[in-house]
Amino acid sequence: MSKKKNLFKIKKPKNLNTIFGLPAKSYTDENFWKKECNTVLSDGWLFVGFVHELKKTGDVIPLLIANKPILLIKNNNNEITAFHNVCSHRCLKLVDEKKNVGKIIRCPYHSWSYDLEGKLKAAPHVGGANKHKPKGFNFLDHGLKPIRIYIWHDWIFINFNGKAKKFEEYAKPLIKKFNDIDLTKLKYAATLDFGKINTNWKFLIENFIEPYHVQFVHKTTTNQPLKDHYTVVDGICYGSGVDVKKEDTKNSAALSVTSRYLSLFPNFIIGTYFPNQVGVYLNIPISPGVTTQKRIIYTTDGNEMGKEEANMVKNIWWSVHKEDHEMCERLQEGRLSPASDEGGLLSPVWEKGVQTFQKLIIDSTMKSKKIMKRKKNV
């Protein structure tokens, strides 16, 4: 009797130049998606938002990420905190849109109310008519459930399971690559909100970090020859870069500057575009086949970007990303074919970052399986 094929395991390479990618089910299967949500997207530092979008005390942003509703809050101490977006009473989702709640977050179901620090402040009639504080019911025990959070410059990270390394240690491979840029001088320039893209979140990461496709997909929107590119792999940081020998910073029709394209596992993406731009991407995994994407553009020299220049930059990047999105959606569609079960092939030269990212995905999901086995054997 033949062994059952493991549809979630990367096929062993035949040789150094014949390397297989993640199998199709890793991008389409609901069970694998659930496993990812509880491991890959819960164990490390997950990128979830931008500080500048929470300007005033009482501003809140609800998100559904990794199958979990969360809530970002700007509290009374001018701090941004994260909570599970669930009322302690019947576990109703508390907030369903970005807004300012004032001083109180009120559940629309039974009017249980919480302050901006997540403390339960009111539970009307919980002990009977006009009995708002029954004996033995301790309000301090029933506040919103907090989520571990870290702010790095304008970027908000959370750690669902609370067990990740300190952020500075976790992100060290990425942080050290910005010694030549003063990130404290970042100035917001523009937003590109792409909304829902019909592809698995991993395809958006993989597409960003490999340079192999650039000269084919972006032949009219960029001028960055493949021969000038190189790959970057440093632990949980990976990507690529390009040193353009003849930069054309005045050409509004194409991107032609020295750039670096880096990602921090699992979902943080940052691009640097010399001499003075940074772009950061927020990819929110919604389901196996849907991801939302937003990109924020910054200047790095401490100067504001003019309106005309910002519009020019937005137009360039909108075109580039739409080209990428088409490829990523077609990658997703291709995973419906049994011909993709073995995962396709990866370039041993240009897709080293993709290989690293995919191995981290498998290692993270397999770790939970090993833990479950150990528990059964105890």
Ordered by start, the domain boundaries in the chain are 53-150, 176-354
- What does the pLDDT average to over 5-28? 86
Q: Is 60 left (phi over 0), alpha (psi -120 to 50) or beta?
A: beta
Query: Model confidence at 14, in pLDDT bands (50, 70, 90)?
Result: confident
Would you state the pLDDT for residue 246? 62
Which residues, at least 6 apart from 346, have a Cβ–Cβ distance to it below 8 Å?
Answer: 19, 20, 21, 354, 355
Would you state the pLDDT for residue 298? 97
- What does the pLDDT average to over 27-39? 97
Percent composition of the chain: helix, strand, coil (DSSP 3-state, to 5):
30, 30, 40
pLDDT surpassing 50 at residue 293: yes
Question: Which has more confidence, 179 or 32?
Answer: 32
Distance of CA 110 to the CA centre of its chain: 34
User: Nearest 10 degrees: CA dihedral of 296, 300, 301, 305?
Assistant: -10
Residue 190, helix vs strand vs coil: strand
Q: Could you tell me the sign of the dihedral formed by the alpha carbons of 338, 341, 345, 351, in that order? A: positive
Query: Angle at Cα 363 formed by Cα 37 and Cα 202, nearest 5°?
Result: 50
Would you state the pLDDT for residue 85? 98
Query: At 68, phi and psi to the nearest 5?
Result: -130, 130
pLDDT surpassing 60 at residue 369: no
d(CA 36, CA 242): 32
d(CA 174, CA 258): 18
Amino acid code (one letter) for 343: G
Structure tokens at 295: 């990109």
Task: Say which CATH topology domain 53-150 has.
Answer: Rieske Iron-sulfur Protein (2.102.10)
Q: Taking the CB of residue 279, how many other CB atoms lie within 10 A of it?
A: 21
d(CA 7, CA 365): 13
CATH of region 176-354, choose from 3.40.190.10, 3.40.1390.10, 3.40.50.720, 3.90.380.10: 3.90.380.10
- What does the pLDDT average to over 107-114? 97
Would you state the pLDDT for residue 244? 79
Amino acid code (one letter) for 222: T
Of 10-19, 34-43, 187-196, 337-346, which gets the smallest average pLDDT?
Answer: 10-19
Using one digit for the tens of pLDDT, what is the confidence trace for 126-177?
Answer: 988 998 889 989 999 999 999 999 999 999 999 999 999 999 999 999 999 9
Q: Could you tell me the sign of the dihedral formed by the alpha carbons of 267, 291, 362, 366, in that order? A: positive
* Short-list 130, 140, 36, CA closest to 369: 36
Burial environment of residue 29 by CB neighbours within 10 A (0 to 12, 13 to 18, 19 or more):
middle
Query: Model confidence at 224, in pLDDT bands (50, 70, 90)?
Result: confident
Mean pLDDT of the chain: 91
- What does the pLDDT average to over 198-227? 91
